[in-house]
Amino acid sequence: MSVIILDLQIACSIPHGLPKKSNFLKWISAALPKGKQKKEITIRLVDENESRELNWMFCKKNQPTNILSFPFIAPSYIKIPLLGDLVICRQIVELEAISQNKSLEAHWAHMTIHGSLHLLGYDHSSQSTAEEMEKLETKIIILLGYSDPYIANIE
């Protein structure tokens, strides 16, 4: 099993009610390939303003987003286990969970897994890569005991 070093940064104005570090570790572990390597990842939990600023700075989109992924791509001569950084916007995740009729925990899990897969090189820039990524996300989410994140929950 991979050893994961998680730097969890809480930069939200309301820090209570967030997932525990142990949850993030469980979700990341489920997304990463199995092995004995050490992996380092930073997750920064932010409010909408910081999400908007980063989304503008790196994606030229002037709106907050649920998650931003920043893979660490080291030159070949540097051997460090850093995967990269995830920035997750608390308010967007909470609003999406409500609007999609999902449990908050399940949506946090989905966003963390989604971002972790981006750090591993997966993307959704084309129909085929999106389908591949969604299929893997769904498999991981279901293995963790949550519902398929791409099927609407109508109650």
Give the residue numbers of the binding site for Zn(2+): 114, 118, 124
Q: Across-strand partners of 44?
A: 9, 87
Q: Is 17 exposed, middle or buried (0-12, 13-18, 19+ CB in 10 A)?
A: exposed
Residue with tokens 């051997």: 79
* DSSP H or E stretch at residue 42: strand 38-46
Nearest CA to 10 out of 52, 57, 48, 46 is that of 46
Enumerate the known binding-site residues: 114, 118, 124
Tokens of 114: 């989604």
Token pair in block for residue 33: 């390939």
The one-character DSSP state at 18 is P
Distance (Å, whole) CA 86 – CA 67: 7
Structure tokens that stand for 37 in this block: 């390597």
